[in-house]
Chain A
Amino acid sequence: EVQLVQSGPEVKKPGESLRISCEGSGYSFTSHWIAWVRQMPGTGLEWMGVIFPSDSDTRYSPSFQGHVTISVDTSISTAYLQWSSLEASDSAIYYCSRLTSGVAELDYWGQGTLVTVSS
């Protein structure tokens, strides 16, 4: 069974750094792109970027380029989303999702990680 299990909720202060994770299981982790999607309170879904675990090829949405970093550790089948300096506007739920092999379709989703940034 394909599963994406994300790390738990985080409460941080503006300016702090953060890394959240997404562990894949039940499939060949290196064969599928992993996407990160943001959902701000009461709003819709925004694609942030993707990474291909096999070679760490990474693509970012221009809206997020330079503000977040997507990475992967294939030895533990885990993808990461990190910030070096959080802002209050980063408060949101972050989802990881798997792309179907070879095509740009999201099939399986993690349970989401709630990030709260507040002074």
Chain B
Amino acid sequence: DVVMTQSPLSLPVTLGQPASLSCRSSQSLLHRDGNTYLTWFHQRPGQSPRRLIFKVSNRDSGVPDRFSGSGSGTDFTLKISRVEAEDVGVYYCMQGTHWPPLTFGGGTKLEIK
């Protein structure tokens, strides 16, 4: 199974400052169909996960453009250009290229410094 590793575990950020979250996979996530099925989710305390980014860099409808995803192969990044208070919570990456199983990273907890 593909192992997803996220870092850092915890990320304290000052409001208005940028944040960078890393996600690494144990195998390349490039699918034979040419797509890379790497998804980012955000989970606020007490809420369900919400998808932010799919296929590495595609923002979901309603997701602010301060969020951006990038990467290829085994190395992926979620960037927040200017952190706002509503961005706190846990961010998870997930791969769907080599499924089943779908596998999640352990999460990065973003908090305001």
Number of A-B contacts (CB under 8 A): 61
- Asked if A35 is an interface residue, CB under 8 A from chain B, the answer is yes
The smallest C-beta distance from A23 to any residue of chain B, in angstroms, reads 15
Are B49 and A45 in contact (CB-based, < 8 A)?
yes
**Cβ contacts under 8 Å, A106 to chain B:** 39, 41, 51, 94, 96, 102
Interface size range on A against B: 20 to 34
* Residues of A bordering B, CB below 8 Å: 35, 44-47, 49-50, 59, 61-62, 95, 97, 99-100, 103-107, 109-112
User: What is the distance, in angstroms, from A107's C-beta to the closest C-beta of chain B?
Assistant: 6
Known: A44-B92, A47-B103. Contact between A109 and B50, CB under 8 A? yes
A sample of 14 inter-chain contacts (CB < 8 A) reads A44-B104, A45-B41, A45-B49, A47-B101, A61-B100, A62-B101, A95-B49, A97-B49, A105-B39, A106-B94, A107-B54, A109-B48, A109-B49, A109-B50
